[in-house]
Amino acid sequence: MSKTKAAANVSKKVEIITLKRAEGLLLVIDTPKGRGVFAGRDIPGRTVLEVSPVLVLDPTENEEHIKKTDLYNYTYNWPYTSPTKTDQVSGTRTPPMQTQAVVLGLGSMFNHSTLQQNVGWERDVKNLLVTYTTLRDIKEGEELCISYGPRLTFKDVEEEPLDTSPEDWTEVLNIIDLID
């Protein structure tokens, strides 16, 4: 349906946003990171893969409830402006606080990669959207990963395991000797 036809179907004047999802995206169910989004075909760099609407959480509800659930792993930092609170002295609106937003649609399915990040994401705070765009040319079969930033709430499967071979332990013990 075109924007014009969509607008004709609603009684009052509304702003309409074109949503996008690139062709050829696959959801792979059983990866070491859980479900993940993969390229089912070659995708050029700078392609918009997905525009996902978000649900902004009330900061108190987020702290008291959502943080204690698995849903917290599906949220992004998001600025929050209270719809009602005003500054008692000046009468102006209080500055925005930080909260979390649940990303709806495919956005929540992108896994994290520190070194192989090939998708960038951008908040549209006004329209409550996140847009995901390829950072380079992608080959068919590659996983599409974003960066969640430095503070992860889970163990990254791509992290190098500590080498615990005997030679390394000798090295560690030598260092401890030097410290003593």
Ligand X SMILES: C[S@@+](CC[C@H](N)C(=O)[O-])C[C@H]1O[C@@H](n2cnc3c(N)ncnc32)[C@H](O)[C@@H]1O
Is 72 a binding residue for ligand X by CB under 6 A? The answer is: no
Residue of 6, 17, 21, 34 interacting with ligand X (CB under 6 A): 34
Is 116 a binding residue for ligand X by CB under 6 A? The answer is: no
Q: Mask 126-165, x = binds ligand X (CB under 6 A)?
A: ----------------------------x-xxx-------
Grouping H, G, I as helix, E, B as strand and the rest as coil, residue 72 is helix
Residue of 35, 41, 65, 136 interacting with ligand X (CB under 6 A): 35
Residue of 74, 104, 117, 147 interacting with ligand X (CB under 6 A): 74
Neighbours of 23 (CB within 10 A): 9
Residue of 52, 111, 118, 134 interacting with ligand X (CB under 6 A): 111
Amino acid symbol at 53: P
> φ, ψ for residue 169 (rounded to 5)?
-65, -35
Grouping H, G, I as helix, E, B as strand and the rest as coil, residue 53 is strand
Asked if 110 contacts 145 with a C-beta cutoff of 8 angstroms, the reply is: yes
Is 112 a binding residue for ligand X by CB under 6 A? The answer is: yes
89's tokens? 């002295």
In the bound complex, what is the minimum distance in angstroms from residue 55's beta carbon to ligand X? 14
In the bound complex, what is the minimum distance in angstroms from residue 159's beta carbon to ligand X? 8
Task: Spell 60-88 as b/e; 16+ CB within 10 A means b.
Answer: eebeeebeeeeeeebbbebebeeeeeeee
Residue ranges binding ligand X (CB under 6 A): 33-36, 73-74, 108-109, 111-113, 154, 156-158
